[in-house]
Amino acid sequence: MRCTGEYGQWGCMVSNAHAGTENDDPQVGALLDRQHQRLHDALHSALRSAHRQQQLAEGVVSGSAVDILALLAHGVNLRSRAGADAQQLQATVAAAVTAVTRGR
């Protein structure tokens, strides 16, 4: 959705704020920290569910995987906004998902 169609190359206001000078404002910084924590918590919940369903690859440490996926989410938003190739971004996301899940 971030890469093509009506919302392609919009990026994400939150990702853009992380990269901009507005995060110098303590209130904005606190809001960005809360948003990142919400993203982190949602990804952690998804990985816990995948672990319970034995869908995670051997040796995946959920905390590290959450950090990687959260950074990837922000990176896709920024790269999409910069005009990166949608197929390349989708391939990168697919590679990350493949790296943390069991092949089925």
Mean pLDDT score of the chain: 84
Q: For 41-48, which contacts have Cβ atoms below 8 Å and span 24 or more sequence positions? A: 43/69, 43/70, 47/100
Q: Residue holding tokens 């092949």?
A: 103
Question: Is residue 103's pLDDT more than 70?
Answer: no
Average pLDDT over residues 29-57: 91
Between these two residues, 35 and 12, which has the higher pLDDT value?
35
What is the percent of the chain where pLDDT is above 90? 35
Between these two residues, 54 and 1, which has the higher pLDDT value?
54
72 touches 92 (CB < 8 A): yes
Type of residue at 64: S
User: How far is residue 101 from each of residues 16, 25, 61, measured CA to CA in Å?
Assistant: 29, 39, 11
80 touches 89 (CB < 8 A): yes
pLDDT of residue 62: 80
Q: How confident is the model over 48-90, as pLDDT tens digits? A: 999 899 999 888 888 889 999 999 988 888 888 788 888 999 9
pLDDT of residue 94: 92
pTM score: 0.78
Domain ranges of the chain: 13-100
Helices within 1-103 (DSSP H only): 13-19, 26-52, 62-81, 86-100
